[in-house]
Amino acid sequence: MFRLFPPPRQGPSSLMGPKSKKTAGKKKISKAERLRLLQEEEERRLKEEEEARLKFEKEEQERLEVQRIEKEKWYRLEKKDLERRNEEFEELTLLEGCFPEAEKLKRETRALAQWKHYLQCDGSPDPSNAQEMNTFISLWEEETNETFKQVIEKSKLVLSLIEKLKLFLLETPSCDLGDRTVAQHQESILRLQELLSLKVDMATELLLREASTLADLDSGNMEKKIQDENVTLYVWANLKKNPRYRSVKFSETQIGFEIPKILATSNIALRLLHTRYDHITPLFPTAVPEEERAPIVEEEFRKEKNTEKALSTEKALSTERAVSAERAVSAERASSAEKEATSQDEEPELKQDREFSLVPEEETKSEALEDNEVQRTSDQEDENTEATRYELEMRLLSEAVSAAQLHLVENIVELPDINENEADLCHFSTLGGVYHLDILELPPQCKPVKGWVLVEIRQEGLQKFTYPPENTDEPDPENAFPPIEVTLEVHENVIFFENPQVIRWDAEGKFWRTDGISSIVYNREERLITFSLDTLGPVTLIQDTHINMPYQSWELRPLGVNWVLITVTTLFAELQIYIKENLCMLASIKLKDQEHVSHLEGKWMTPVPFILALKEAGLNIFPTVYSHFYVVINNKVPMVEVKAYRQMALLSSAFAFRWSKWNMACSSTRVVFRVKEYLAEEAEDHLWALLMFSGDRAQMLRIREDSEAFSEALKEETEFHSTLYHMVKDSASLEAMEKVRHSDCQFIDSVCHMLLSIRVLSFS
C-alpha cells in the first residue's frame, strides 16, 4: 500500500527570482506616504476640474454675452428695417414703374407698325386684320399653274405673315388677347401653312409633267434641284425604269436614296423637300382660359371706368342745371325791370333808354363770367379725368406685366399624356426644319403634236405612291419590300451637341413617331445622317431640349448705361449675349474651348425673336414649364425669383451679378448670388460680395465664396434692407447710382425678360 505525501514547503527566498531579489533590495513606500500621494493627486484633479469649470463658465458667459449683443444688434437692425420698409417699398414701386411704361411703349410700337403698314400700300395684307388675310388667302387659292420658283417667291411673303402672327401671339400679354383673337390668328396660321403645302404639291406636279423634256442625256431620268434661303427641292423622275439603277444620288451632293427593285422599275418620282421651317408640328398653346386672365383686374377696370363716366355725367348735368337756373333768374330780373320802367311814364325817355340798355349789358357780363367759370371747371375736370385714366392704365399694365413675368417662371404640375412610340416634345426639340420624303406617281407627260403640247390633266392632282403596298401577293413581304435607305444633309446653321435622333410624322395620329427608323449613322465632319425608313414620309431631327441644363455658371456684367453682357456657361458651350437698349445679340459662342462662328452673331433682335432664333439654332438655354421634370434644379419660389430678376435688371447698368455655389445650400425661399459695383474693368474676386435675398429682405453674408460651410450670418458693418435695390444702394457710389437712374425703361424690361427666360437662379 502506497501513501502520498505533499511536496516539501519552500520558503519565500526560494520563490523569488532574480528580479524579485533585486526589487526586494529597494526601499518600500510607507502607507502614510502612499496616502499623501493619493491625496495630492486628488487635490490636483479637483483643482483642474475647478479650473476647467471656471473656464467653461467664463466662455459660456462670454458666448452668452456675444449672443446677447448679437441678438440686440439683430433686433435693432430688424426694427430699423421695419421703420423704413414702407418707404423703401414705395420707392421701389416708383422705380418699377418702368415695366408698365415699357409695355405701353410696346403697344404704341405695335400700333405704329400697323399704321406704317397701312401707309406702305405694298399690296401685302395686315396679318392682324382677319378680313385682309381671308382676301389674300382666297385670291391665292384662285391662282393656278404657278411654277415652283413662283411659289417659292410667294412663300417669302407667306412665311413673313406667319412669323408676324406667331410673334404677335407670343409678345402680346395674355390680358390683351381674347379667345376670339387667338383663335382667329391661329386659324390664319393654319390656313397659310396648308395653302403653302398645297401650292408646293401643285408646282411639283407641274414640274413632273415636263419630266421627259428635262431628262438627263446620260441616265435618261430627270433630276432637278431648286433652292432658296427657306426651301431646297430635290426631284428625281424614273423615266427609264432600269432595275439596276438603285442608287439615287443628286448631283454634286451625297444626298439621296437607296431604293429597292420594285421602285426602280415603277413609274414613280422621288421628292426630297427640305423646308427650314416646321409647319407640321402642332401649334404651341397660346390661348389663355378666360378665368385665368385676371378677371378681377378687368372687372375693376370696367367698374372704375363706369364710375368715372357716371361722375362726369352727373357733374355735367349739375353744372348745366346751375347755369340754367342762373339764366332763369337773370331773365326774371330783366322782365321785372322792364315792367317797372314801362309803368314810370313820367321819367324822361333818355333815362328809359339808358335803363333798358344797362340790363342786357349786365346779362351779357354775367353770362360771360358763368361760361368762363364753366369752361375752367370743365378743363380742370378733364385734366383730373385724364390723370386718373393714366394712373389706372399704368396700374392695370403693371398688374398685367407682373402676371406675365410670374407665368415665365411657373412650373406645370403634370406632364401631358403621350401615345405609344410618340416623341416627347416636352423633352426633345425639333431642329433644322422638316425633310419631306415622298414617292410620287409620275403624272402623264407632255406630248408635242404638230406645234401643240398635249397634256393630260388629272382631277385628283398629284398622287403619292404607296410603299409598301397595302395588298400584296408576295410570299414574303418583309424581304420583297425592304426599308429605304436615306442620306440627308444637316442644316449648317444648327448645332447638335450630341448625335441627332430621327423621328417621322404620323399623318393619321397627327404626332411624331420614334419607331419605323433603323440603322442611324451620323457623320459629324460632313454633317450627313443616314438611316433606313420602312415607308417614306416627313422626318425631322431632334435633340434633348435640356442638353445645356443645368448651367455650370452665369454672369451679368454692365458694359455701360443701357448695355450689358450676359454669360452662361454650360457643359458643352459658353454663350455670351449682348443686351443694348431693347435689342439682343449673340456676342460669341465657345464649344468646348473652341470658337464657333454662328450666323446669329452681329444680328440685333428684340428679346422674343432672339430667343426663338437661339432655340432654332440648337442653342437652347431657355427652360419651359416642363423642364423641371427632366433637369435636377434648385427650384426657387417663383415670386422670390421674379422679384430678384426685376431688381437685378434695375441695377444692371452699374452692378455686376455672378453665380454662387451657396445658392444651392440655401432654402427654396432664398436666393444667393455675388454682386459688386462695376464701373471699370476690375475683376478681383475679393471685391465680390455675397448677397442673400428672400423677396422682402436682403442682406450681405459674412461668408465668402471659398468658405467651408454655409452661414446666414450678417456681414460686419452692414444692415438689413427690405429690397435688393436698397441693399446694393447702401454701399454704392454716387456715380453708380447716377448710371442706374439714367437707365432706359425698355432696356430694364429687356434684361428682366432675358433673366426670366434663362432662369439663372433656379437652373444653375
Q: Are the C-beta atoms of residues 273 and 155 closer than 8 Å to each other?
A: no
Q: Centre a 10 Å sphere on the Cβ of residue 301 and count the other Cβ atoms it contains.
A: 17
pLDDT tens column, 663-676: 998 888 999 999 99
Q: What's the average model confidence in pLDDT over 185-195?
A: 92
Q: What is the mean pLDDT of residues 228-251?
A: 88
Per-residue pLDDT band for 655 (boundaries 50, 70, 90) equals very high
Residues constituting the chain = 764
DSSP 197-228: HHHHHHHHHHHHHTTGGGB-TTTSSEEEEEE-
Confidence of residue 346 (pLDDT cuts 50, 70, 90): very low
Q: Over the stretch 92-128, which tens digit does the pLDDT of each residue have? A: 999 999 999 999 999 888 888 888 888 877 778 888 8
For residues 321, 327, 330 and 335, what is the CA-based torsion angle, rounded to 10 degrees?
-110
Neighbours of 537 (CB within 10 A): 18
In sequence order, the 6+-apart residues with CB closer than 8 A to the CB of 510 are 282
Dihedral over Cα of 242, 248, 250, 254: its sign? negative
pLDDT at 291: 40
Report the distance separating Cα 53 and Cα 182, nearest Å. 78
Question: Three-state SS for 636?
Answer: coil
Q: Residue 683 pLDDT > 70, yes or no?
A: no
Q: In angstroms, rounded to a whole number, what is the distance separating the alpha carbons of residues 388 and 382?
A: 10
The pLDDT confidence band at residue 354, using thresholds 50, 70 and 90, is very low
Q: How far apart are CA 222 and CA 261, in angstroms?
A: 18
pLDDT in tens, 122-165: 778 888 888 999 999 999 999 888 888 999 999 999 999 999 99
Query: What value, to the nearest 5°, has the Cα angle with vertex 432 and ends 429 and 434?
Result: 90
| pLDDT at residue number 360 | 46
pLDDT at 234 over 90: yes
pTM as predicted = 0.79
61-65, 137-141, 228-232: which range is least confident on average? 61-65
pLDDT at position 82: 85
The per-residue pLDDT for range 377-402, each reduced to its tens digit, is 666 666 677 778 888 888 888 888 88
Task: Give pLDDT, residue 359.
Answer: 43
Over residues 363-372, the pLDDT tens digits come to 544 555 555 6
The Cα–Cα gap between 665 and 281 comes to 40
Q: Residue holding cell 431693347?
A: 582
Q: Above pLDDT 70, what percent of the chain?
A: 81
Give the pLDDT of residue 381: 63
Q: What is the pLDDT of residue 275?
A: 93
> For residue 335, is pLDDT > 70?
no
Higher-confidence position of 448 and 608: 608
pLDDT of 101 reads 92
Q: Dump pLDDT digits (tens) for 278-319.
A: 999 887 654 344 444 444 344 444 544 454 454 455 444 554
pLDDT at position 390 is 81
User: 104 CB contacts (<8 Å, ≥6 apart)?
Assistant: 393, 394, 397
Sign of CA dihedral 168, 170, 176, 179: positive
Note the pLDDT of residue 47: 85
Which is more confident, 451 or 237?
A: 237
Instruction: State residue 659's pLDDT score.
Output: 94
> What span, in angstroms and rounded, lies between the C-alpha atoms of 658 and 397?
31
Task: Determine the Cα angle at 645 with ends 641 and 649, to 5°.
Answer: 175
- What pLDDT shows up at residue 513? 92
